[in-house]
Amino acid sequence: MKTDTVFKRAYNDALDLISRLAEGEPLPSENTLSASMGVSRTTVRKVIASLKASGVISGAGRERNVHPSSPSMHRFPESETVPMAAQVEERFMEWMLRDNARPGTAINELDLARKFGVATTGIREFLNRFQRFGLIEKRPNAGWVFKGFTTNFALELFEIREMFELRSARALAAMPDGSSHWVQLEAIRREHVDLLNDIEARYHDFSDLDSRFHRLISSAAPNRFIDSFYDIITVIFHYHYQWNKHDERQRNEVAIREHLTYIEALFTRNVTMAELACRAHLTSARETLLRSTSMH
Amino acid sequence: MKTDTVFKRAYNDALDLISRLAEGEPLPSENTLSASMGVSRTTVRKVIASLKASGVISGAGRERNVHPSSPSMHRFPESETVPMAAQVEERFMEWMLRDNARPGTAINELDLARKFGVATTGIREFLNRFQRFGLIEKRPNAGWVFKGFTTNFALELFEIREMFELRSARALAAMPDGSSHWVQLEAIRREHVDLLNDIEARYHDFSDLDSRFHRLISSAAPNRFIDSFYDIITVIFHYHYQWNKHDERQRNEVAIREHLTYIEALFTRNVTMAELACRAHLTSARETLLRSTSMH
DNA sequence: GTCTGACTTTTAGTCGATAAAAAACAATTT
DNA sequence: AAATTGTTTTTTATCGACTAAAAGTCAGAC
């Protein structure tokens, strides 16, 4: 059956929201809650019913009030709020990147299903979606093979990334002065500066900023295939950095400086300079990734 | 349960093979058959047992003989030899391209499952794999939306295609003289000439030749992401041309001539000329596709 | 040493059922 | 009448079971 992770996450979110209200305040309408928590009204009602049962909400119908001071504000554990599919992804990535799975390893659906505690259909679905990452391959009627997180993988990934990024950088540099992209670029430049000023404490935040920066650039000339490729990059980097902390602070600091050079070059509208800065940054990003693949 | 399409296809293949042998000839060994038909020995044995029961094969053990003249050489209908997943793909493509599905249409798993006569899991699996084509989009917990086989789709597809193809053409032009690629290119050039000489009768054969030609070019510098993108193109074109026969002969003839120009340019090793011919061909291919999207 | 026979074990493909979540519809209240 | 709550219907996410196909084993025959 379907898991109730959506409900549990919504329940926790509702608690957070209520704790920001004052004792006795009226509860927002079901539709408002539905919109703000990103779930259906059906789920909102279930959450409300549940919160009423534990005394965090009182009243009924249009007259519902909130009791953030209630002693029974118990949250569901974080682990129960993540849907099965996401768990499978997490566990698989862990197996692949952290446990250094060998190229050529056969992937066994039933085995993974048992290890991850899910039904085989869940594994199949994940593998089917994951195929586009280029790290596994299907042999009909005979399972999947892991192709390896290898040097070649990193090189091929970056070859495409460079083509896409250069093309987008050129498009961005050619944007008219009035375009909102320049405003967004300035905003993200400032974020870089801020992060750099507090790098010791906040260097973990770079991963997210990096992803948003590159997505901003490619938004200059939207293309669904490029966007979908960036999804792959984002996921790979997300998990990769989660398990490879070596030199993280320094790596990120270098990358931020490269980004800033790149941004300045874009602001000059000089295509050649922008290309140069873009190439320089990607080359160093590739080196970083390569260093960790060759450890395998 | 699992369907026995593998068995049925192998059975038909075995009949074909036997019909090419003379009456009373010995049957090849189980291992030989397994290798030549691309199925396991287990399946081969099942086929042999079945063929013996219907009298097409006589004897046992090492002494098995073949009777192609037997009156009971009945093949399984073609439709029973195609696995569920392939059927779903076919039906979905038909719905999308032939029935001109509207952009924004919601895709309903249960509904499709009923229409196609398969379980919902089969549909889910297909949609998950099909997502990378950029024609559908998932909204978690709320199904899929068809984004439409639109002008934009064709433009975005061809933007990527051009980037990839130019890059591969450059790589091919830079190949050393001794490389086997030149031999293969000459072979495929000849195929083009042959097809052109018999265009009236054989213009249907172009689709396959086209796909092989472009794959040969991209094999000059292999990259899994590019290969996977060519899979998308191949599928799109396969189905598209299956249901859009307008001007097919003339279209294909023009494309063959463009290919020949392109091939000649590659043989000169002159990168600029190769790029020019490549661009010219892709532009005309894009026009063709655009014409049929705008009909929607 | 290759081939068949007769198994056994493992794995993939497919189905149908069921609870959760979303969506649609109906009934209120302000 | 617009917004809100109450009720019913539709649709998705997940499981577990079942069968075909693959893969492996090992003995014996040619």
Tell me: do B128 and B219 sit in the same domain: no
The confidence score (pLDDT) of residue B295 equals: 55
| A65 and A49 part of one domain | yes
Whether A183 and A290 share a structural domain: yes
Segment A5-14, tens digit of pLDDT: 999 999 999 9
* CATH number, domain containing residue B129: 1.10.10.10
pLDDT score at B1: 84
- DSSP, residue by residue, A140-195: TTS-EEE--S-HHHHHHHHHHHHHHHHHHHHHHHTS-TT-HHHHHHHHHHHHHHHH
- Shared domain for B219 and B131, answered yes or no, is no
pLDDT score of B273 more than 60: yes
Q: Which of residues 107-136 of A touch strand D (CB under 7 A)?
A: 117-122
Kind and range of the H or E element at B171?
Answer: helix B151-173
Rounded to the nearest angstrom, the minimum Cα separation between B223 and chain A is 6
If one counts the domains in chain B, the total is 3
**How much is the average pLDDT of B6-14?**
97
Question: Do A49 and A87 fall into the same domain?
Answer: no
Looking at residue A294, its pLDDT comes to 57
**pLDDT for residue B296 is more than 60:** no
Contact flag B225-A134 (C-beta cutoff 8 Å): yes
Do A55 and A91 lie in one domain? The reply is: no
Question: Residue A159: is its pLDDT beyond 50?
Answer: yes
Same domain, A125 and A89: yes
**Nearest CB neighbour to B228, from listed A132, A167, A226:** A132
Boundary of a domain, candidates A79, A97, A125 = A79
**Interface test with chain B among A158, A160, A167, A233, by most B beta carbons within 10 Å:** A160
CATH of the domain at B214: 1.20.120.530
Chain B residues within 8 angstroms (CB to CB) of chain A: 6, 121, 124-125, 128-129, 131-132, 134, 141, 153, 156-157, 159-160, 163, 167, 223-226, 228-229
Q: Which of B126, B146, B166 is the last residue of a domain?
A: B146
Specify the 3-state DSSP secondary structure of A284: helix
Q: Are residues B139 and B121 in the same domain?
A: yes
Give the list of residues 6+ apart from residue B244 with CB closer than 8 angstroms, or none.
B97, B292
**Across B139-153, average pLDDT:** 94
For residues A274 and A170, what is the distance between their CA atoms, to the nearest angstrom?
8
How close, in Å, is residue A231 to chain B by CA atoms? 11
In which domain, by residue range, is A58 found?
Answer: 5-79
Instruction: Indicate whether B286 pLDDT > 80.
Output: yes
Mark whether B130 and B160 lie in a shared domain. Answer: no
